Structure 1
Amino acid sequence: MPKAYASTVIDLPAERVWAIIRDFNALPSWAGHMVARSEIEDGLAADQVGCVRSFHTHDGAHIRERLLALSDLERSYVYNFEKTPFDVQNYQATLRVTPVTDSDRCLVEWWTTFDCSPADAASWIRTFADDVFGGGLVNLKKHLGSA
């Protein structure tokens, strides 16, 4: 099962960064490079496990993701694809914020595991790690004024 991973250190406390990304529907505000608009379906709260985030990318693709777990203690959430234009299966991603204990900074990690054809694995790893997660983390830092 391939794994795509990206991380960054942000010069802000973990609680402040988690307050921004905890909102499962906040992608357009901090990851605007890829998400044009987003909504939580069926009027559910954006932190309710089981809610579905339905969003459109700037190129018009429609993606639906279900929140599988959210932990304020671990400052993390886990989600999967319900609908995607990507040719992958069993996609499950985690976004986590961890304090750096010797300073007032934090480590933000974003990763996924998924299934795909072996011939496509390297390409999907690059797409998710570099374009989606890496680009999202760069924009998160910009949004927070920490870039």
Structure 2
Amino acid sequence: MPHIVKSTILDAPTGAVWSVLRDFNGHDRWHPAVATSAIERAQAADKIGCVRRFKLKDGSELREQLLALSDLEQTFSYCLLDTPIPMFNYVAHVRLLPVTDGDRTFWQWESRFTTRPEDREGITQMVAEQIYQAGFEAVRHHLRGAA
């Protein structure tokens, strides 16, 4: 079972980073792979159990469900419900922590999932780089633009 753990330090306070990441339906405004996103059944984007349906720029559609969200701990967890990618049982966790030296943010993004043995290396690399690392860089750029 692949276990991906990626982290970064952002030159922004945790409150600023949390305001971007907390919106479970907001990743189409900052992630370069996401074209559109909508929460199903017009539910609030911070309601535990809400489902976001989004389209990637390549036309693929995915659905993810919010499993947990804590403003106090600045964490959230979600799972993948539907994807054209052969990955299963995907559960991810996002956590922010303050770096008091410079009022910066430590951001950790991790997941576990299963996949076919022949797809393991390629999918693990894709999630780590095209989703997580690209997301880190995109939020970094987004926050610079908002400043």
Instruction: Classify the TM-score, shorter chain.
Output: over 0.9
CA-atom RMSD, angstroms?
A: 1.2
Show the 5 A alignment for 1:94-133.
94-133=93-132
* Paired amino acid for 2:136: L
Name structure 2 gaps, 5 residues minimum: none
| Per-residue deviation, 1:117 | 2.0
SS of equivalent to 1:114: strand
Tell me the distance in 2 between the aligned counterparts of 1:29 and 1:107.
21
1:136 aligns with 2:135: yes
Q: 1:13 — aligned with what?
A: 13
SS of equivalent to 1:144: helix
Show the 5 A alignment for 1:56-75.
56-75=55-74
Show the 5 A alignment for 1:50-89.
50-89=49-88
- 8 A contact 1:6–1:130 mirrored in 2: no
How many residues are paired up?
A: 145
Tell me the distance in 1 between the aligned counterparts of 2:7 and 2:24.
19
* More displaced 10-residue stretch of structure 1: 118-127 or 6-15: 118-127
* Paired amino acid for 2:29: S
SS of equivalent to 1:145: helix
* Paired amino acid for 2:70: S
Scaled by the length of structure 2, what TM-score is found? 0.94
Tell me the distance in 1 between the aligned counterparts of 2:137 and 2:96.
15
| Per-residue deviation, 1:101 | 2.7
| Per-residue deviation, 1:103 | 2.7
- 8 A contact 1:4–1:126 mirrored in 2: no
SS of equivalent to 1:25: coil
Q: 2:46 — aligned with what?
A: 47
Scaled by the length of structure 1, what TM-score is found? 0.94
Tell me the distance in 1 between the aligned counterparts of 2:102 and 2:13.
9
- 8 A contact 1:69–1:79 mirrored in 2: yes
Q: 2:28 — aligned with what?
A: 28
SS of equivalent to 1:108: strand
| Per-residue deviation, 1:64 | 0.4
Tell me the distance in 2 between the aligned counterparts of 1:101 and 1:129.
27
